[in-house]
Amino acid sequence: MTQIGSPAPEWRISEWLNSDEMLTLEALRGKVVVAFAFQMLCPGCVQESIPQAKRVHETFDGNAVATIGLHTVFEHHEAMRPVSLRAFLHENRIRFPVGVDAHEGDDPLPVTMRAYRMQGTPTLLLIDGAGRLRRQAFGHVPDLALGAEIMALIAQR
């Protein structure tokens, strides 16, 4: 895991869905970034993390908070190709940008997942307006705590 408080490593994305531009952490500087790393066939992601991401996207002002999905596929690679992810986003009415975490060589772990030393999916990343990683959580974070943490970062901008 990247050290909390350190600059968040730039992600490496092979394709963006729900976004016309290549979104970088660099370009999002000034906003609080709430990133949900998920796999479309991970049950905990589908049941908990994706609905929570939608609530974050609907609750917070997009000028202050960027809600981002990261599709970090580390298993069943053939099953979760972008063509399947695209249908998944459509069917689940996911409107926020989702980046496909890039693969390099034969490594089953995608690049961003490895850079953050994520333990699995779902993983939540909170990045402050200065681009520092402030929280990384594997598994479910309750809404009440997440709302408070996001607001604490908004207040510090």
The Cα–Cα gap between 113 and 12 comes to: 9
- The SS3 call for residue 133 is strand
Please select the residue that binds its own copies; options are 21, 26, 43, 63, rule is CB under 8 A.
43
The DSSP bridge pattern shows strands 13-17 and 98-101 to be antiparallel
Judged by CB under 8 A, does residue 142 bind its own copies? yes
The DSSP bridge pattern shows strands 65-71 and 98-101 to be parallel
Least gap, CB of 56 to its own copies (angstroms):
7
Judged by CB under 8 A, does residue 140 bind its own copies? no
Minimum CB distance to its own copies smaller for 6 or for 84: 84
Least gap, CB of 92 to its own copies (angstroms):
6
Residue in 85, 86, 60 with CA at minimum distance from that of residue 152: 60
* Polymer length in residues for the chain: 157
Least gap, CB of 24 to its own copies (angstroms):
26
Tally Cβ neighbours within 10 Å of residue 75.
13
Judged by CB under 8 A, does residue 87 bind its own copies? yes
Sites of contact with its own copies (CB under 8 A): 41-43, 46, 52, 55-56, 59-60, 75-76, 78-80, 83-84, 86-88, 90-92, 142-152, 154-155
